[in-house]
Each structure stands twice: as structure tokens, then as C-alpha cells.
Amino acid sequence: MIKNNQKQLNRIQVLLDAVTVALAYILSYYIRFYSIFVDSYELEVALPREVYFSVLYILIPAYLVLYNMTNLYTPRRAGKVGSEIRNIIEANILGALGFVAGLYIIHQEHFSRKLIAVFFVVNIIIMSLSRVSLRKILRFMRKKGYNLKHVLLVGYSRSAEAYISRIEENPQWGYVVNGVLDNRIPVGTAYHGVKVIGEIDQLSELISANSYDEIAITLSLDYYDLLEELVSCCEKSGVHTKFIPDYTSLFPSNPYTEDLEGLPVINIRYVPLTDTGNRIVKRIIDIIGALVAIILFSPIMLFAVIGIKLTSKGPIIFKQERVGLGGKNFMMYKFRTMEVQTKKEEAKGWTTKNDPRVTKIGRFLRSHNIDETPQFFNVLFGSMSLVGPRPERPQFVEKFREEIPRYMVKHQVRPGITGWAQVNGYRGDTSIRKRIDYDIYYIENWSVGFDMKILFGTFFHGKKNAY
């Protein structure tokens, strides 16, 4: 079974990492001192090779400790490769800082700092390639039926079905669900080939008779009074146990927890932008980005002003009330792309494909997102952000807050000129529910890097459903 194999895999992984660190360091040494970019004087004043190579006695165990600290030896069958590479980078940043600090502590001024910089880059590249290659090999083996992890589910529920579905969709993870225990569903009932094999009170008996690698508690809400007893039973057996709650639809994928003097508290929703530091960083980026955009796009905005003025009667700028941060209303600016309408006509609905109300110049401005450029002034004034959920009109907010679950969550952050939903094609006359799903994902997973990804994505995918 996998329990014994995992110990062997971990030992092999540690050995591979030790060899990788050594190879990366040796390669870095030769790049630093024997590449075509090094002049002869640097070789003359360099420390002896033995001094540099003696560092490996400290470097290898130190990096193995760092890799352990950054969870690189935690089994991650279902984990993403990007997360593993981020941990490798994090460990190497800590290692490089510790390396330099150590040299200062021992007053070693002649040790090449350039070597440390080269090692930092080379080690990240080689370690990442090593981990990705091993991951691919293991996933190939699992698809072929080797290195499998056998799981028993306790409780038939929505979470049990979701777990089984994900296992079936991802055979490379190497999980095999051997059955489900439940008191209500008849024995023999199957979901995607996984059968109910008994009742919950048979758990202890089945654990003794089988070598399960994991027990996943997937009780429905009605049976949560059994939870403490089941956890106790699993822990006595020594089998690794995980709990998959039957109310996952209420939580984000990475719930934010707090510790109140030993009492764990799970926040229903974690919004990174509630942090003051994050808000300040995002606001600074918004101000700088808006100023740069206004300067860069000023010729295009001038073209839009002239085009609108020459082709139709009415104001150049269209102002419309929208709902923003904290549910407060503000006036959003756009270039007018439609014939002038009464407030009653305007309130009928949003623009649809081939909408007769759109002017010829307006259709061009909309298809190239030029009509949105005045919103850079909204960003500058603080009512909007460069990136965020698109703001909606008050009448639609009142309608959707009753019809669509979690709709009002989007108002916990500033609305944006562009957003994750828009990059994925959900703008205009498209599914509001899908749009909200993307908006909430953005809100829960905000980072500066995510904002940059969306801004770049807008240039390549932002025209989808723009009419």
C-alpha cells in the first residue's frame, strides 16, 4: 500500500534534492569563474576552489531544512505545479538571504556574491525541472495503476459526490475510492461506479479488515452529531483522516481561519483587500496606472471626442449611476455610444448584440473598449479601480441581490474598468451567475500579480462579447 511507498518516496525525494543542490552549486561555480564573461583578474583574486566547495557541507543540509519548512516534502497529489514552484522560489530566497547574512557574520568579504546570485537562479531552475519531471513520472505511473492511494468515504452527501467526481476526472492523482458507508442509502447504490458498501457503524470493522490509506469523512449535515465519535475511531486506527464538509458551497477554496485563544474561527469569506496594506498598495497602483493611461490614451480619447461630435447630436460623455464599494452609488463616465435616450428608455436593459440604439462610431468605440477610457478619471478620483468587478446600475443590483446567491459580495471591493469575468468573456448580455462566480474568485484570490494578469489579458481577450 501507499503508506510504505510514501516513506520511500520521501527518502528518494530528499536524496534527489540533496544531489540537485550540489549539482546546481557546482554548475554555478563554473558559470561564475569559467564562463566566457569572466576576465583573468577575477580568477587571480578568487578564493581557492576548496573553500567554495567546502560550503556544500553546510549548504546541502541547510537547503533541505528550508525545503521542509516550505512544505516541499508534504504529499501533493492534487496540488498544482505552480504552487510547488512558488515554494521552491520562497525557499531559495530565504537561502540566499541566509547565505549572504552568514558571510557578513563571519566577516568573509572575499566570497563571491555573484556566485550566490548565479546559484539562486540555477538552483531554482534545476530544482523546478526536477520536481516537474518527478511529478510527471509519478502521474504516469498512477494512470497505469501504480502508486495508488485507497480511500474509504464515511457518509453519502453532496461533498461525497463532488469528491468522487473530482477523483474520476483526475486519474493522475492516483486516488481510488473503495466504497462509501452510509445509514440511509441502501447497500449497492453506486455513484460513478463507487458503491455504498455498508453502514457507518461498520467503520471500525472495515478499517481492521482492510489497509486503507485514508478515511474521508463526508457526512451529510444531518449526521454531524457522529463526527466526534468517527474521528476518535479513525485516530485509534492510525489511518490518516480528512474531513470534507457538506457546506463547501458557503466557503471559498482557501478559507481564512482565526485563532481566538485556542478557539478556531472560520471566516465565511476571506477578502485580501480588507487588509489596510493591500488596499494602500492597490490604490497607489491605481493612481499611477490611471495617470499613465490618461497620458497614453489621450490621442485616442481625442479621436473619440471628435468622432462622437461629428456623427451624432448630444453630449460627448455619458454619465450613469452605478453601485460601487460598500453598496454606495457613484457616477460612472463613458463616451456616449448610443443615440440620446430618455431615462425611461435607458432603464429598459443593457446593450445586446446588434442593438439599434448604438451609433456607428459607438459600435467601433465599444468593440475596441475605447468607450471605457473616461473611467480612468473614475479611478483617479477613487470611485473605481483599474481591476475589479464591473459595477452595475442600482435597479439591477436590487433585482440580482434577491435572485443570485452571493451577488452582493462583489461590493466588498472597488469596482473596476476590467475584471476577471470580462477577461473570460462574461460581459454585456451574458450569464450574470457566471460573472459573479468569476468576480468572487477574483475577490478571494486578489494579488498584485493577479491584477497584472487581468490587465494583460484585457488587451488580448477583452473584446469578447463587446458590442
Domains of the chain, each with CATH number or no CATH: 2-143 (no CATH), 149-250 (3.40.50.720), 276-461 (no CATH)
State the pLDDT at residue 263.
79
Cβ atoms of 391 and 321 closer than 8 Å: no
What angle do the packed helices 2-34 and 113-143 form, to 10 degrees? Answer: 150
pLDDT digits 0-9 by tens, 87-126: 899 899 999 999 998 888 888 888 888 889 999 999 999 9
Cβ atoms of 156 and 180 closer than 8 Å: yes
The answer on pLDDT for 39 being more than 60 is yes
For residue 243, give the H/E element and its range: strand 240-243
Q: How far is CA 416 from the centre of its chain?
A: 19
State the pLDDT at residue 4.
46
State the pLDDT at residue 78.
56
For residue 296, give the H/E element and its range: helix 276-296
Backbone φ, ψ for residue 225 (5° rounding): -70, -15
pLDDT digits 0-9 by tens, 157-177: 988 998 999 888 877 777 889
pLDDT digits 0-9 by tens, 223-248: 888 888 888 888 787 788 888 887 76
Using CA atoms, how far apart are residues 82 and 152, in angstroms rounded to an integer?
A: 29
Report the percentage of the chain scoring pLDDT > 90: 36
Using CA atoms, how far apart are residues 122 and 117, in angstroms rounded to an integer?
A: 9
The answer on pLDDT for 467 being more than 50 is no
- Is the model's pTM score more than 0.85? no
Q: Which of 449, 279, 280, 409 is nearest to 457 (CA)?
A: 449
State the pLDDT at residue 1.
42
Interior CA angle at 273 toward 271 and 274, to 5°? Answer: 75
SS3 426: coil
Band the pLDDT of 274: cuts 50, 70, 90. confident
State the pLDDT at residue 43.
57
Torsional class of 314: left (φ above 0), alpha (ψ -120 to 50), beta (otherwise): left
* Long-range CB contact pairs, 272-276, < 8 A, 24+: 272/444, 272/445, 272/446, 272/447, 273/412, 273/413, 273/443, 273/446, 274/412
pLDDT digits 0-9 by tens, 278-310: 899 999 999 999 999 999 999 999 999 999 988
Q: Identify the residue with better confidence: 264 or 69.
A: 69
Q: Which of 335, 325, 352 is nearest to 410 (CA)?
A: 325
Strand partners, 338: 358
Band the pLDDT of 3: cuts 50, 70, 90. very low
- Residue 294 amino acid letter: I
